[in-house]
């Protein structure tokens, strides 16, 4: 592979706290090693439209603590077409960019894999998604912050649930993955945690509520991932109130509050490590891979394996819920 001189960086898909820390790490690592770095705004769509600018180390001052992404993000249907990819490559070439760092999730790396099947420009991915649903890394940038946001909210909800003897259904993000629900629910002592990876039997949920009612347990917290097969907070509310019309039931959908806010120390450190590792991977000829951390060590996983794999849920944790909520 020829020597790399100019690296482009973009953020794509859903934003996650810590993306700015990763951008900062990539830019400053490039500058340290004498490489030029170009910011690409609005992900692949910005690449197609040529929304590209040269970055300096001062461009990333005072952003490590900020949520969101200074490069903006977007989802681009046009990029998934041959014509869109051709335009994107033309813009990259016109700016002299000879390698890319891509910060995002599964969709970002799927796009990258298709793109680099047609064009041979080197690339390294950084996992930036609150869902923690990628193989090749123990944690993704933004997951720790999102879980802590959910935990803080659920703790406050439990206070008011206890004050009024209420059952609360709290819906957290997780369209295809239940990691936020599982971890925040355990941390908050939820009585039920419902996730896409495990079949939901509504009768079992209702029977557990009935058991708690008969035991005079006055507070019941259910944490449900938005992608649960039975549905979200609204569907559970209907099922519960039909079975227990006298029960005081409330719902709370945390929504996009989980995406925002200042990243936790863990996400800032993870993002800094992965940004540094991504640039050095390109410098040493390692390409078409995602940088991740497994057992606290930097690991590189090919894009093809990342997008085909599924990060498994820890079944021991699912069993533990039943024990601790009894």
Residues recognised as catalytic: 131
Closest CA to 149 of 189, 180, 114, 191: 180
DSSP 181-242: HHHHHHHTT-SEEE-TTS---HHHHHHHHHHHHHTT---EEEEEETT-TT-SHHHHHHHHHH
Question: How far apart, in Å, do the first and last CA atoms of the chain sit?
Answer: 59
- How far, in Å, CA of 55 to CA of 89, rounded? 20
- Give whole-number Cα distances, 80 to 59, 83, 114, in Å: 30, 9, 8
The DSSP 8-state label assigned to residue 134 in this structure reads: -
Contact 7, 25 (CB under 8 A): no
Contact 191, 199 (CB under 8 A): no
């Amino acid at each position: 592979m020829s020597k790399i001189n100019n690296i482009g960086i973009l953020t794509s898909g859903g934003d996650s706290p810590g993306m700015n820390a990763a951008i900062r790490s990539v830019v400053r690592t490039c500058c340290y090693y004498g490489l030029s770095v170009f910011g690409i705004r609005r992900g692949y769509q910005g690449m197609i439209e040529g929304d590209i600018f040269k970055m300096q180390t001062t461009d990333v001052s005072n952003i490590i603590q900020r949520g969101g992404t200074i490069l903006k993000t977007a989802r681009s249907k046009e990029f998934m077409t041959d014509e869109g990819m051709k335009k994107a490559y033309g813009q990259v070439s016109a700016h002299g960019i000879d390698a890319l760092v891509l910060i995002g999730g599964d969709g970002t790396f799927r796009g990258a894999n298709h793109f680099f099947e047609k064009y041979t420009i080197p690339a390294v991915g950084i996992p930036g998604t609150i869902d923690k649903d990628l193989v090749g890394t123990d944690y993704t940038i933004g997951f720790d912050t999102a879980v802590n946001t959910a935990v803080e909210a659920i703790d406050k909800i439990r206070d008011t649930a206890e004050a009024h003897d209420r059952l609360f259904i709290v819906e957290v993000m997780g369209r295809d993955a239940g990691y936020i629900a599982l971890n925040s629910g355990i941390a908050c002592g939820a009585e039920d945690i419902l996730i896409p990876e495990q079949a939901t039997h509504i009768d079992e949920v209702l029977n557990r509520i009935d058991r708690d009612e008969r035991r005079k347990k006055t507070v019941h917290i259910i944490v449900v991932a938005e992608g649960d097969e039975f549905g979200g907070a609204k569907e559970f509310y209907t099922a519960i109130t039909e079975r227990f019309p006298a029960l005081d039931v409330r719902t709370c959908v945390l929504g996009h509050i989980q995406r925002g806010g200042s990243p936790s120390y863990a996400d800032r450190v993870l993002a800094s490590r992965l940004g540094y590792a991504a640039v050095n991977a390109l410098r040493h000829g390692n390409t078409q891979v995602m940088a991740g951390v497994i057992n606290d060590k930097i690991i590189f996983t090919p894009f093809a394996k990342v997008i085909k794999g599924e990060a498994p849920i820890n079944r021991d944790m699912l069993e533990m819920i039943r024990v601790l909520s009894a």
